[in-house]
């Protein structure tokens, strides 16, 4: 899996940062791409990447503020022009269907693919093939949600030495045993996979948080994440301002990661009041609490291993 940040700014676009959008590529697992939020000009940002709009088959909207959804009508229309025919599913708060359908209807846009809408609420659970997505309502001025993406566990490794010990040398039987509950052999009778497979390997956990005030109660939702993507609209000196506007600071995001056994934190949704020269200071504020932190910039890309 791989994440590409298409927009990392808060509120309004700036010369250095577009507004919110990120893409989660599942090329090996699903051969698809999931988009989280779609701020204004997201489709322009995509042009600077290798992402193909027709590969995006799911869009997850955290909340309905304009800097997270104003890019949707244009993207959906362009996806049609660029050969997208596969159904697209949009997950988001109540109102997302009305917003999209009104935009499409009034602009008389004609899409070459169907859209399926699922309006989420606190506690929603989404099952998607190899993934389960849990939804949690956060603390923002309007309903805003976090998405916890849990990949299913991988089968354990075949215990080759154990097979060799009973006289089974490498060959087709190895593959048959790994892919079946049991197999029949002439020399060894019935062999059960559970007896020759090591422990399962844990799937990855990614948490993408929408806009929110810091709440220590969010710890359970992000617990043990391999990657936490969290907003950091303000710096540590602006905690009162952050609370007033329902946002978080750099250090609040880091505190949540530090208290939740998170492996890696990426902070994003940076206010346009901060300029390039200040980014290192913002990052250092977070790293004082949680060293394994990255401050995302537009087009920052990272693999989730």
- The verdict on whether 122 is a catalytic residue reads no
Q: Are strands 56-60 and 88-92 parallel, antiparallel or unpaired?
A: parallel
**SS3 of 245, please?**
coil
In 3D, which of 1, 70, 6, 23 has the Cα closest to residue 297? 6
- The alpha-helical segments, DSSP class H, found in the chain are 42-46, 66-69, 72-81, 96-106, 160-165, 172-178, 219-222, 239-244, 250-258, 279-287
Work out the widest C-alpha separation in the chain, in whole angstroms.
Answer: 74
- Say how many Å lie between the first and final Cα of the chain, rounded: 7
Active-site choice (67, 211, 226, 298): 67
CB 286 within 8 A of CB 248: no
Contact 64, 99 (CB under 8 A): yes
Q: Which residues are catalytically annotated?
A: 67
């Amino acid at each position: 899996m791989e994440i590409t940040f298409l927009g990392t700014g808060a509120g309004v676009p700036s010369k250095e940062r577009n507004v919110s959008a990120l893409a989660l590529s599942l090329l090996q697992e699903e051969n698809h791409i999931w988009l989280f939020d779609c701020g204004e000009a997201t489709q322009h940002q995509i042009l600077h990447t290798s992402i193909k709009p027709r590969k995006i088959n799911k869009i997850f909207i955290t909340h309905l503020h304009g800097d997270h959804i104003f890019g949707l009508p244009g993207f959906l229309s362009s996806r049609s022009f660029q050969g997208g025919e596969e159904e697209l599913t949009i997950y988001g708060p109540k109102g997302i269907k009305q917003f999209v359908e009104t935009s499409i209807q009034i602009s008389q846009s004609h899409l070459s693919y169907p859209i399926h809408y699922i309006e989420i609420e606190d506690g929603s659970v989404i099952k998607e093939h190899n993934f389960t997505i849990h939804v949690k309502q956060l603390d923002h001025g309007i309903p805003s949600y976090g998405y916890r993406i849990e990949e299913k566990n991988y089968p354990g490794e075949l215990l080759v030495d154990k097979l060799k010990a009973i006289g089974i040398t490498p060959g087709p039987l190895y593959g048959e045993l790994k892919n079946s509950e049991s197999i029949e052999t002439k020399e060894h009778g019935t062999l059960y996979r559970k007896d020759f497979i090591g422990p399962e390997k844990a799937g990855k956990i990614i948490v993408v948080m929408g806009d929110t005030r810091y709440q220590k109660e969010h710890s359970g939702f992000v617990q043990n994440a391999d990657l936490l993507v969290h907003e950091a609209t303000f710096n540590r000196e602006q905690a009162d301002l952050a609370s007033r506007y329902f946002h978080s600071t750099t250090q609040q995001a880091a505190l949540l990661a530090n208290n939740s056994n998170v492996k890696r934190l990426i902070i994003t949704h940076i206010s346009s009041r901060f300029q390039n020269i200040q980014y290192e200071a913002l990052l250092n504020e977070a790293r004082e609490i949680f060293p394994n932190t990255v401050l995302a910039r537009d087009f920052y890309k990272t693999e989730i291993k």
